Amino acid sequence: MWTRGRATAACALSTAALLVFHGLVPNSPGRLGSLVESLLPWLGAMVAVLFGVALLRRSAVALLALLLPAAAWTWSFGGLLLPEGERRAGDLLVVQHNVSDENPDPVGTARALAAAEPDLIALQELLPRALPAYEKELASAFPYHAVRGTVGLWSRHPLAGVRTVDIKPTGITGPWSRGLRAVAEVPGGEVAVYVAHLPSVQLGASGFRSSRRDAGAELLGRAVGAEPVGRVVLLGDLNGTVDDRALTPLTSRLNVAERGFAYSFPAVFPVARIDQVMARSATVAHLRTLPATGSDHLPVAARITRD
């Protein structure tokens, strides 16, 4: 028992090191660090596999070594497994959804989002031909809305100070508007709401290509950092997970979800949450996914509490 399974034990120690010291993985070539961090929670599956191997090998040394990655994973992600706390008066319920520019059923999508009874709905990939359907279906419950380019915000509460947020990276030519900012007059005071859609990333033979996404995150982080309203909520398809170092311009300024994995992409078999809800001077208390729509993303609903 004490001599078998040394290779399994070594894999367990390597997994623990990766969970704790993933920031040391270099980002070049091929944005390897960002790629590892995008899939970091899945190292829990590696722990489970190694546990099965250790049992089959009847290796005490491997089982002891597995305590380290199990503890590291629990410390990093265990809190996300906790159940949702009680909703309090004054909490905001928000929905974030990339509705897809190929969505065959915008009417059904709008109805599904409204059924969650949120205070705010943020949408990306809004096309001119689909926009009237969303406006019509959401008008009664969400009388206030703003659209800039391909992103939009629907609200139960009055909106003011609506403007475009420039998050267009260098090198993109032609019309490109994927960011907006508005102030929502919600119960308990005003909150600045940002809706954004960062550029896509690509995974290929040369690695993880994300330079435009990274540049967009930097621009969005600067805009949020300069926001004069104290309470801020960011809703967006950020094409990255909160563990990805490329989103540090945002995660260093905003709180991320305390509970709920809410993997949102791809809808058929979600492997990551790239649809994000973040907040300043507020807490994203819980995240969950809503049933699938006609999009390749799942909608994400979040409960936000005041600090």
Does pLDDT of 2 surpass 70? no
234 within 8 A of 284, measured Cβ to Cβ: no
pLDDT band of residue 206 (cuts 50, 70, 90) is low
Complete domains list, the chain, with CATH: 6-81 (no CATH), 92-306 (3.60.10.10)
Distances (CA, A) of 211 to 63, 149, 215, 228, 252: 41, 22, 6, 29, 19
Give the length of the chain. 307
* pLDDT band (50, 70, 90) for residue 1: low
Quote the DSSP letter at residue 81.
G
- CA distances 258 to 81, 93, 181, 271, Å, are 9, 15, 24, 19
What are the structure tokens assigned to 277, written together? Answer: 């809800």
pLDDT digits (tens, 9 = 90+) for 239-248: 999 999 999 9
pTM above 0.85, yes or no: yes
Structure tokens at 100: 């897809």
Kindly provide the residue ranges of all beta strands, DSSP E only, lying in 172-280, ordered along the sequence: 179-186, 189-197, 202-204, 207-209, 232-237, 275-280
The string of pLDDT tens digits covering residues 141-160 is 999 999 999 999 999 999 99
Q: Percent of the chain beyond pLDDT 90?
A: 86
3-57 tens-digit pLDDT = 678 899 999 999 999 999 999 999 887 889 999 999 999 999 999 999 999 999 8
Task: Answer for the pair 35, 208: CB distance below 8 angstroms, yes or no.
Answer: yes
What sign does the dihedral 45-46-52-55 (CA atoms) show? Answer: negative
- The mean of the pLDDT values for the chain is 94
Which tokens sit at 50? 């190694």
